[in-house]
Structure formats: C-alpha cells, structure tokens
Amino acid sequence: MNNVYDETKFLMKKYNITANKSLGQNFLVDDESIERIVEASDLTTDDLVIEIGPGLGTLTQKLLEKAKKVIAIELDKKMIKVLQDRFLLYTNLEIINEDVLKVDLKEVIEKNGFKTAKVVANLPYYITTPIIMQLLEKKLPIETITVMIQKEVAERLTAIPGDKNSGAITYSVYYYSNPKVILNVENYKFIPAPEVDSQVIKLVLRDEPVVKPINEELFFRLIKISFMQRRKTLINSLLNGGIIKSKQQAIDIFNELEIELNTRGEKLTIEQFCEISNLLAKCI
C-alpha cells in the first residue's frame, strides 16, 4: 500500500486538500486494488475511457498508460488543479469540471471520434444509483462500466433477479447489462476510511435487453411498484399501485402465466415480470 498511500498523503499536503464529506470523497490508497480495477476494465490502446470522479488521479495515471484517451469528469475544482498539474505533459487526457449527470456523454464520445467508450468510476455512495442508472437508461454507446461502490449497494446491483438480495434496481441493471463482482475493497484501504466496505463490480452492457417488453415504461413501473411494499403479495401491490383494474384481472393474468396468487414481487424472474407487463400492455 505504501506507494499510493505516500503519494496520496503528499498530494493532499501539497495542495492543502481534505476529503470533502459533502461530495463523498474517500481516496483509494491500495496498489493491488487499483491494479485489479485497471485489469478488470480490459483496456486496449484503441479505447476511450470515461473516468468519473478521478480525484487525485491515482487511477487516472494507470488508465492513461493503457487507453488511447481518457476523459476525466470531476466536480471538485480543487481536484481539477491537481489533475492539471500532475498530467500536464499527457496529450491523451481531457479534464471536464462538471457534474457527470449534466454531461452529454454521447456528444463527448462522438466529438472525440470514438464509436464507443468504457467507463471506470469510483462513485460517491450518495449518488451511486442515479449515475449508474443514467449510464444504462440513456442507451449510450458504452461497452462496460467498471465501478467501485458501497458493498451493500453492489450486492443488490449484482444479485440474481428473484433472490433475497434483489431489489427493483437489480432487475434494471440485469435488463441492460451482465453484472459481475470483481473484488472487495475493505474500508481501511481508503483515506479517510469510510464506515463501510466497498466492492468493485463490472457491468458489461448488452447489445439488446435481456427481455423484450411491449411497453418498457410499464415494465419498469410494474417492477418498481412490486418492490415498494415487499411484504405485500404482488396482487395487492399492483392494486395499491393502480397498475391493474381489478383483483380479478390480476388473478386471470397470474393463472394464465401459472404464477401462484400469493407470490411476492421479489420472487419473480425478470422474464415473469416481462410476461405480466406484456399482458397488461394489451389491456391498455
């Protein structure tokens, strides 16, 4: 850990930087974890990398050595100064000082002459879900997303739809991508140490969604409503959510699909949610 640890402490002292709690900043100072993240990103010299939250540039350094170009998107102006000084002589780095949720990534990719990009990120815990869902839902020309996030959230994102750890977001992630766990990163490998451990996961985006709902908006609304009250049966959740006209309609659909009437939403596969939404779509 010493190399990255010492480098991080030096930069923090030189630029008078303390981790900004409001931005969820924690600096990774473990060499092995950084190497594993880069390895998992599977970069080539033809790749464009979009790095979200580069911070002090520890991971950025490794990405610049592997990829054709790196676009680092950082919100904190203090970090921008560090990045500009540190990588002054690099010609394959572009730094954007902006909230990534406000950046038109499709335009950025096309403007740089690339057809696709790979995303690498160390996301603040408080904004993990909005960023990941925007990357997926906007159907951007992105091949993979390799990201370090809070372990508890990572376990939900990479769960198998229908198991005990799954939530509404599990189905959304699985719909757009094939997720897998890369490694666990204990809290003591950061400065400052967060209260919880982290996990690096990789999402390989699908060419086509894993299922084909007739009405995508209805499909995701169905899933969301099903998980809002996990202890209720799916039929009651759908009635309360106003997604079905009557209990009898739900019974008819469940019988047709051979789904038990007392089933809870968390027990369904993504294929079953799609079948239900498609039957509902035909009734609209």
CA distance 56 to 86: 9
Residue 167 and residue 86 in one domain: yes
- Under a CB-based contact definition with an 8 Å cutoff, are residues 67 and 47 in contact? yes
Is position 234 within any domain?
A: yes
Query: 205, 237, 253 — which closes off a domain?
Result: 205
Residue 284, pLDDT above cutoff 80: no
Domain housing 249: 216-281
Is position 78 within any domain?
A: yes
Query: 170, 205, 240 — which closes off a domain?
Result: 205
Query: 182, 205, 228 — which closes off a domain?
Result: 205
Residue 256, pLDDT above cutoff 70: yes
Structural domain tally of the chain?
2
User: Looking only at Cα atoms, what is the longest distance across the chain?
Assistant: 69
Residue 23 and residue 138 in one domain: yes
Q: What is the pLDDT of residues 141-199, one digit of tens each?
A: 999 999 999 999 999 999 999 888 899 999 999 999 999 999 999 999 999 999 999 99
Q: Which of 44, 57, 48 is nearest to 4 (CA)?
A: 57
Q: List the 142-150 sheet strands across, edge first.
A: 93-97, 69-74, 48-52, 117-122, 142-150, 198-205, 177-185
Question: CATH code at 255?
Answer: 1.10.8.100
Q: What is the pTM of this model?
A: 0.93
Residue 103 and residue 222 in one domain: no
Residue 200 phi, psi (nearest 5): -95, 125
* Neighbour-count burial of 230, counting CB atoms closer than 10 A to its CB (0-12 exposed, 13-18 middle, 19+ buried): exposed
Residue 221 and residue 97 in one domain: no
Question: CATH code at 82?
Answer: 3.40.50.150
Q: What is the pLDDT of residues 100-155, one digit of tens each?
A: 999 999 999 999 999 999 999 998 888 999 999 999 999 999 999 999 999 999 99
